Amino acid sequence: MAEITVRGAGIFGLSIAWACVQRGARVHVIDPYGPGAGASGGIVGALAPHVPENWNAKKAFQLDSLVQAEAFWQEVEEIGGRSAGYARMGRLQPIADDAALELAFARELTARQLWPGHVTWQVMDQQDAGRWAPPSPTGRLIKDTLTARIHPRLACAALVAALSAKGVTVQTGGTPRGETVWATGWQGLQDMNRSHARSVGNGVKGQAVLLDHDARNQPQLFIDGLHIVPHVDGTTAVGSTSERDFSDPASVDAQCDVLLQRASAALPALAVAPIRERWAGVRPRARSRAPMLGHWPDRPGHFIANGGFKIGFGMAPKIAQVMADLLIDGDNAIPPEFQVGASL
């Protein structure tokens, strides 16, 4: 029986631990701050695909993961008995002008070639999208049925419950046993930076707002970089910012007000929704801009799973699969762009 220690109880660490437990490994999870304490304890949870064009290994990997997600989270919920807040409700995007409309129609064709037949990308009339749809200058919207939502905190708690049902608890300390996976977020990237001549990666701060507005049966919206994500618990998340320079990882400021202003302009109903929470956290961004996975060079028995940045929850089911393949069977199916060496 393989023995594996996972350092870090964010979405990457918990998902990898879960996949390894399901494969029969003896697993230990250590995080001094507890599960979901970093960026994985956020509030947005938009599981959205890359656009269906200029196809590459990263986009294909993410597509596989988004397709796998429904079964992944269903199993976690069944075994742990807790909801992850997952639902594939799709997404609407306004189309700004004629050039964007032409591009949207072109992507409609490539999606038929690149995406599985049961998920679609299509151009539709705004009047057919219902009252939840945002205004669109062209009167047209993009609707895709691949995008899903997840409640990040509920998802982490659901994984913890599923692991507990299998006899695995998240510890705040302890001695690693067996092979070790380092899923330690942006602080882990900073630690690696100190031992390399060039930057391996860094943290990018994000801010978001959680509103008391129940639109749980509606698709999420993507409006000029702004995510509006209705959650299963009757809240709606609005986010997020991207801040390369920051002094306080957890502070919120006037940028949250800007998010609210933009969301209210798109959907006036959000302007009167009570604010449940303003949130800030730091997401790990690898230098390659892709997740960093695989063997830690020159450290036998140690592995890295980091750099989820904005797509960590969407990538997690597939990342858990390929990391379990590597850890338990020695089968390295990680794309070259994701290998740790690509960021060193």
**What's the CA gap between 309 and 189, in Å, rounded?**
12
- Distance from C-alpha of 4 to C-alpha of 48, rounded to nearest angstrom: 31
Phi, psi of 146 (to 5 degrees): -90, -35
Domain boundaries along the sequence of the chain: 3-88+148-204+283-343
Q: Encoding tokens for residue 14?
A: 């918990």
Mean pLDDT by 10 residues, the chain (344 residues): 96 98 98 97 97 93 97 98 98 98 97 95 95 96 98 98 98 97 97 91 97 98 97 97 96 97 95 98 94 95 97 97 97 94 81
Residues 46-63 as b/e (b if ≥16 CB within 10 A, e otherwise) read bbbbbbbeeeeebbebbb
How distant, in Å, are the alpha carbons of 22, 42, 43, 283, 291 from that of 250?
35, 11, 14, 12, 23
Residue with tokens 């009339």: 125
Residues 6+ apart with CB under 8 A from 324: 16, 19, 20, 22, 23, 25
Q: What is the DSSP string of 141-191?
A: EEEESS-EE--HHHHHHHHHHHHHHTT--EESS----SEEEE--HHHHHHH
- The amino acid at residue 37 is A
Backbone dihedral angles phi then psi of residue 311, each to the nearest 5 degrees: -120, 20
Question: According to the model, what pLDDT value does residue 20 have?
Answer: 98
Angle at 45 between CA 71 and CA 342, to 5 degrees: 85
- Cα 83 from Cα 159, distance rounded (Å): 10
> What pLDDT, in 10s, does the model give residues 309-325?
999 999 999 999 999 99
Q: What CA–CA distances, in Å, run from 114 to 36, 69, 224, 334, 336?
A: 33, 18, 24, 20, 21
Dig out the tokens for 82 from the structure.
């807790």
Return the CATH class of domain 3-88+148-204+283-343.
alpha beta
CA–CA gap between residue 103 and residue 171 (Å, rounded): 49
Q: Which two tokens stand for residue 123?
A: 């151009």
- Half-sphere exposure at residue 125, Cβ-oriented, CA atoms within 13 angstroms: 2
SS3 29: strand
**Distance from C-alpha of 281 to C-alpha of 185, rounded to nearest angstrom:** 11
Between CA 30 and CA 27 the distance in angstroms is 10
Length of the chain: 344
DSSP strand E in 219-290: where?
220-223, 226-230, 236-239, 275-286
In one letter, which amino acid is 240?
Answer: S
Task: Record the tokens describing residue 242, joined without a space.
Answer: 């991207």
- State the pLDDT at residue 164: 98
pLDDT at position 197: 85
